[in-house]
Homo-oligomer: A and B are copies of this chain.
Amino acid sequence: SRLEENVKKTVADNPVVVYSKTWCSYSAEVKSLFKRLGVNPLVIELDELGPQGPQVQKVLERLTGQHTVPNVFIGGKHIGGCTDTVKLYRKGELETLLSEANVK
């Protein structure tokens, strides 16, 4: 579908992408973690996309198996949600992924 191609292009063209919801504290945690790391992700707030929001969330589920937010991509690779991202950060692996994507 066109929306699916759109999402694929977005994560391919942007080194760090966070699909988020503005009211969600888990989404806020991930965004603020990247900010602390000096990274400026492309943030897509699904609740600000009107009827397209749920559609994009469905596409993400098809592409990644994950239907929740936040949904994080680095270097085009699906990373996971908040817990996954924080886990990688604590293991030191997040910064590795970021430098491999030429972000840090």
Contact = CB atoms under 8 A, between A and B. Distances in A.
A46 interface: no
Interface in A20-50: 24-26
A82 interface: yes
Interface residues of A, number: 4
A3 B24 CA distance: 26
A26 B26 CA distance: 7
Contacts of A24: 24-25
A26 B70 CA distance: 13
A25 B24 CA distance: 9
Interface of A: 24-26, 82
6 contacts: A24-B24, A24-B25, A25-B25, A25-B26, A25-B82, A26-B26
